[in-house]
Structure formats: C-alpha cells, structure tokens
Amino acid sequence: MGNKQAGFTVIEMLIVLTIILMITTFSMNQMVKSTTNDPLEDFLEQLEKDIFMMQQQAMTKQKQLSLLFHLNEHYYMIYDSPLNPAILKRDYDHRLQLDLTSINNPLHYRSSGVPINPGSFILTYNEKHYKVTFPFGKGRFYVTEL
C-alpha cells in the first residue's frame, strides 16, 4: 500500500508566491502614480475623468448634463437638473484659481456628449497661467500654458 499525501510541491508554492508578488508590485506602482504632489496636474486629470464620465452619462441616459463651477467654494458639480441632487461634486485645491473667461457657467453637454456653448477658462497656479479650452464639436478639452 502506497503512502499518498496530498499537498503542493515547493515549485508550485514558489510559482504562486511569485505571481502574488508581481500583482502586488504592479498595483502598488499604480497607486503611487495616481497621487501626485501637484494640485494642477491632479485637478486636470480628475476634471478629464469627470468630463468623460459626464459624456458617457449624457449619451447613455440621453439627457443634457451640466458642469457648474463654484469658484469661491473651490468645487464643481455635475447635475442633470438644478432641482435634483448632484450626480457628482468634486472639491479642488484652494490654491487653484479659475477665471471663466469665455465659458458659460454652467457648461451644458448635449445628450450626444458635446458641449452646447464651448469656450475656455484661465487656470492660475503658482503664478503660472493656463488656458483650458473646450473646442466646438469635441467633448474633451486641451490645456495651453500662457
């Protein structure tokens, strides 16, 4: 009669531990990259993600959505109607100053995901000025340093 023992070999355990270590290392690198010490970069990255989400919601639900900046309180919100609760409210760093030059506040997005009245605003941080532009026919924005 043979002595059968159930279990894993050392090689199988090493392979599993190597895979777990690789996954952990990769996820830690992604977490470190996602938070920077630059409020300007964080703001622009988060705004881009929020606008993309807003476009997706507008197209999926076939509703006009609005992006409203509250300049004195340093936050913006996305909503479908002023009477309904906000879909999203996002605070941003108080050191960032926004000047809504040619953009309507709120900025409305059609159900097709493009802004109704595109324009631009000036973003100031550390005495540097950036122009954030929402062009016609595009849902995205681009940034240029002034």
Instruction: Find the DSSP H helices in the chain.
Output: 10-34, 39-61
What is the signed CA dihedral for 73, 74, 78, 82, rounded to 10 degrees? 20
Looking at residue 131, the DSSP 8-state letter turns out to be: E
Confidence class of residue 99 from pLDDT cuts 50, 70 and 90? Answer: very high
39-145 — its CATH code?
Answer: 3.55.40.10
pTM, rounded to two decimals = 0.71
Tell me the per-residue pLDDT of 102-136, one tens digit each, with 9 for 90 and over. 888 999 888 888 888 888 999 999 999 999 998 88
Average pLDDT for residues 81-92, to the nearest whole number?
Answer: 92
Tell me the per-residue pLDDT of 32-76, one tens digit each, with 9 for 90 and over. 655 557 899 999 999 999 999 998 888 898 999 999 999 999 999
- Integer-rounded Cα radius of gyration of the chain: 23
